Amino acid sequence: MARQLGDVLHYFLDDAPDVAEVAAKAQPCPIVAAPMHPRDAIRSALLWSIAVELRALGRAPTLLAPALQRDHSAWLDLASEKLEPSWVSLPKGDVGPLLDAASGAASSLPQERGPVVLVHVPSDATWNDGHAELFERCWFVAGASDADRQEFLELAERVLTAAPRSRIGVTVRGAETLPAARQIFDGLAELFEARFERNLTSYGLLVDELELARELAERHTALDGAPANRAKRALRDVAELLRDDLH
């Protein structure tokens, strides 16, 4: 018995197109927003690194970032990796230009390459329900500290007010073991679900943060092959979870 439509499609259609090609054309390019403080060097470097890892995993990432980030240290030397962001000016202080740029990129990128648009959304910008498309998927990094939890919940509330159907996921920081990471995530999920009455998606954990921060600063993220140490393997796992969630 045929298990997929593609196994029998040729019986019904003359010169039927490749099913994978049809699916690629039918599925829109995903946009992933990463709301964060505009001067958060670690999270913005992580976003760049996730783009690098997604590329190593076979996706075709495009980065968008506010023009004010151009001179920020976390975004230096990206041209050498062929992942330099498209810099977007926000003259009115809202995310409208980021949405326009993201929508334009999503509609113009070749679908067969598995594109994904990653957007650094500055938390000091304004947004409303007219910008909901930008926040269909959101990626956060949060830990166990009161400050991290509060920042995450406040930004999540702003996102969900503008985009009630947003899919929100979080990568856990500040844990060195899987049980510790699970405990941090469960705590975040409990707060999130009690406040918003919806599930929180897990995008893995970061480990050995000091080592990871040093390597991010020195642009030692692996572009090909297996990650060389535990910190990079965890980062690759984060990218894999995000990639799988985009299907």
Tell me, letter by letter, the H, E, C secondary structure of 65-115.
Answer: EEHHHCCCHHHCCCHHHCCCCEEECCCCCECHHHHHHHHHHHHHCCHHHCE
pLDDT of 7 above 60: no
Can you tell me which residue has the tokens 């996706």?
Answer: 59
Q: How far is CA 177 from CA 134, 206, 210, in A?
A: 33, 10, 15
Pick the CATH number of 28-246 from 3.40.50.360, 3.40.50.300, 3.40.50.920, 3.30.70.141: 3.40.50.300
What whole-number distance in Å separates Cα of residue 180 and Cα of residue 144? Answer: 10
pLDDT of 229 above 60: yes
Closest among 68, 33, 246 to 158, alpha carbons compared: 33
Extents of the domains making up the chain: 28-246
Residue 15: left if φ>0, alpha if ψ -120 to 50, beta else—which one? left
Q: What is the mean pLDDT of the chain?
A: 82
The pLDDT score that the predictor gives to residue 175 is 84
Structure tokens at 114: 């598995």
pLDDT of 19 above 90: no
Q: Give phi and psi for 46, each to the nearest 5.
A: -65, -40
What 3-state DSSP class applies to 14?
Answer: coil
Q: What is the maximum alpha-carbon separation in the chain?
A: 61
pLDDT of 113 above 80: no
Q: Give phi and psi for 65, each to the nearest 5.
A: -150, 155
For 167-209, the pLDDT digits (tens) are 999 999 988 788 888 999 999 999 999 999 999 999 999 887 6
Task: Please give the share of the chain, as a percent, with pLDDT higher than 90.
Answer: 52
- Residues in Cβ contact with 8 at an 8 Å cutoff, skipping those fewer than 6 apart: 2
The pLDDT score that the predictor gives to residue 72 is 62
For 20-34, the pLDDT digits (tens) are 444 444 458 999 999
What 3-state DSSP class applies to 245?
Answer: helix
What whole-number distance in Å separates Cα of residue 169 and Cα of residue 134? Answer: 15
Over its C-alpha atoms, the chain yields an Rg (Å, rounded) of 19
Residue 231: which H helix or E strand, with range? helix 230-246
Tell me if 166 sits within 8 A of 203, measured CB to CB. no
